[in-house]
Amino acid sequence: MFCYQCEQTAMGTGCTVAGVCGKDARTATLQDLLVYATKGLAMYGRRARELGVRDHEADVFTLEALFSTVTNVNFDAERLEKLLLRAAELKEGLRGAYEKAARKAGGTPEKLEGPAAWEPAGDLEGLVAQGAEIGIESRKAALGEDITGLQELLTYGLKGMAAYADHAQVLGQEDEEAYAFFHEALEYLTRDGQTADELVALCLKCGEMNLRVMGLLDKAHTTAYGHPTPTRVRIEPVKGKAILVSGHDLKDLEELLKQTEGKGINVYTHGEMLPAHGYPKLKAHKHLVGNYGGAWQEQRKEFEAFPGAILMTTNCIQAPRESYKARIFTSGLVAWPGVTQIKDRDFTPVIKAALAAEGFREDGPGRAIMVGFAHQAVMGVADKVVEAVKRGEIKRFFLIGGCDGAKPGRSYYTELAQAVPKDSVILTLACGKYRFNKLDFGEVAGLPRLMDIGQCNDAYSAIQIAAALAKEQCSKAFGTEVNSLPLSLVLSWYEQKAVVILLTLLHLGIRNMRLGPTLPAFVTPATLGVLVEKFGLTPVTTPEEDLRAMLAA
């Protein structure tokens, strides 16, 4: 195996024996093959679409296949095998549809090679052998580090965007242009003669399309659950039976809340589910009582201590300890061998496990934190913010957030947040906020100094806030361009959703961002040089040095 798609990759160069994330070599190889098979599907999908033929099932499968290969999602080889067989089946359907449409249009169908010609081996081990032949290292040997790295940058961007598009699709929001772009980009990755300039342009186009997809997801969330409002969230236990929900999927949380209504079970959020408390239609369920624990990488000790059932939605799962393996459940695309998978959002097994568990014996202290500062909430006080800037009460905004991880060096974000001047506002989002979101930052100009925008899925809100503050009505305070705002972006990254958010920010032309704790292994020195020259992208150094530079800008 060879995998360098996450920030924690071994030695900062690539996992070759087993993934730092916990996946074994066989699973990693099957994931490589699934991406390859999805490229084959896209080769026919793009051509069929050009002839007016589309297959919605294949479109949705493309999202699910890519999302399944995001870090910490699917560790189950047997489920990956089923996805591979389904990819082959859907590809054949698209091939037939394309060839029929081509003949009907008076043309001759192309005979496609490469991923389009792939046929699945007869068993799981045969699929693993196929995957071993098409891995990253074979392309590095043929194409070199720079082109392969740019291919992977685009691929990881597509994986991240697939996650956002899948969340939106689950809630009934879809975009034909997004589906078409997935097939366009994946098909391009199968061509000969790719150039660095073409790949960079396509990466930026991926960022542009992701902005559209994140807007779609924002619409999906707010249409289903209302716009988030600033909300105090209890972070200590409440006496009674308990279920803990982690991951990102608000639909799963909603259905669980409905099914546990009146059953005497308290529901808690964990990790990226924390922002759910800000949505009016979710917090209307009174047994959604609070948040337990912190970011995903702390889950093994936190889940072990939690005296109830655990539901893991979407990504962020780690290898479960035996102490809680019988009371953790997965839903949607996330999977771990030996862990019970929930079907069709029937959470009866989770409820039974919660009722059988001990639950919390007593209430904890009444500590709480604030969430719910999404774009509508922040822009609702835009006038107050602008006036505070004009008066000099607020000097600067810092966006400090992103994907968290377990690798050493992430204390940088805590130290930076603590060092930010008292006349500044800190915006944060994603699980990186757990590095400092329980600290007391007080207020400035009557506003909280720390504003939690939401999940990584809510990065659209951060962009909307920056864009809105830069509009004409705020021009006297800030200027008319986002880059003229007194705003510094310091991002942490871990997996592929963070990669595509970065591509979106680059597409928007946002400059002088700081990224850490380390740079992606797939970004070669030559590519980094382009990003530094064109966008001023900078690796983080020390909190003191970076803060000094940002304040001087």
What does the pLDDT profile of the chain (553 residues) look like in tens digits?
999 999 999 999 999 999 999 999 999 999 999 999 999 999 999 999 999 999 999 999 999 999 999 999 999 999 999 999 999 999 999 999 999 999 999 999 999 999 999 999 999 999 999 999 999 999 999 999 999 999 999 999 999 999 999 999 999 999 999 999 999 999 999 999 999 999 999 999 999 999 999 999 999 999 999 999 999 999 999 999 999 999 999 999 999 999 999 999 999 999 999 999 999 999 999 999 999 999 999 999 999 999 999 999 988 999 999 999 999 999 999 999 999 999 999 999 999 999 999 999 999 999 999 999 999 999 888 788 888 888 899 999 999 999 999 887 899 999 999 999 999 999 999 999 999 999 999 999 999 999 999 999 999 999 888 887 766 344 444 545 677 778 999 999 999 999 999 999 999 999 999 999 999 999 999 999 999 999 999 999 999 999 999 999 8
- 535: buried, middle or exposed (CB in 10 Å: 19+, 13-18, 0-12)? middle
**Which of 190, 183, 151 lies closest to 44, judged by CA?**
183
Question: Which amino acid, 378?
Answer: V
Give which of 255, 267, 164 is closest to 217, Cα–Cα. Answer: 164
36 token code pair: 């390859």
Amino acid at 551: L
Res 481: pLDDT: 67
What does the block give as tokens for 507?
């597409």
Q: In whole angstroms, how far apart are CA 436 and each of 369, 395, 417, 429, 492? A: 11, 21, 7, 11, 13
* Residue 15, CA distances (Å) to 24, 127, 158 in order: 10, 20, 21
d(CA 347, CA 255): 8
pLDDT number for residue 408: 79
In eight-state DSSP terms, residue 335 is B
Which architecture does CATH list for 374-552?
Answer: 3-Layer(aba) Sandwich (3.40)
3-state secondary structure of 338: coil
Q: What residue ranges do the domains of the chain occupy?
A: 10-224, 231-356, 374-552
**Per-residue pLDDT at 153:** 98
What is d(CA 281, CA 271) in angstroms, rounded to the nearest whole number? 20
Query: What's the confidence (pLDDT) of residue 526?
Result: 94
CATH fold, domain 10-224, is Substrate Binding Domain Of Dnak; Chain:A; Domain 2 (1.20.1270)
Q: pLDDT value at position 471?
A: 65
Would you state the structure tokens that stand for residue 373, as one six-digit string? Answer: 């500062």
C-alpha pair distances (Å), 426 with each of 272, 396, 405, 416, 448: 19, 9, 20, 10, 9
Give CA–CA dist 15/545, Å, rounded.
32
Same fold, 231-356 and 374-552: yes
Q: Which amino acid is at 229?
A: T
Of 185, 176, 237, which Cα lies nearest the Cα of 212? Answer: 176
Query: CA dist 396 to 207, 248, 551, Å?
Result: 26, 30, 8
Q: Where are the beta strands (DSSP E) in 32-124?
A: none
Amino acid 472: pLDDT: 38
Which CATH number describes the domain made up of 231-356? 3.40.50.2030
**Parallel/antiparallel/unpaired status of strands 231-234 and 368-371:** antiparallel
Pick from 268, 261, 233, 250: which is nearest to 359 by CA?
Answer: 268
Contact 434, 410 (CB under 8 A): no
How far from 444 is each of 201, 394, 397, 424, CA to CA, in Å? Answer: 41, 7, 12, 7
Sign (positive or negative) of CA dihedral 440, 444, 446, 447: negative
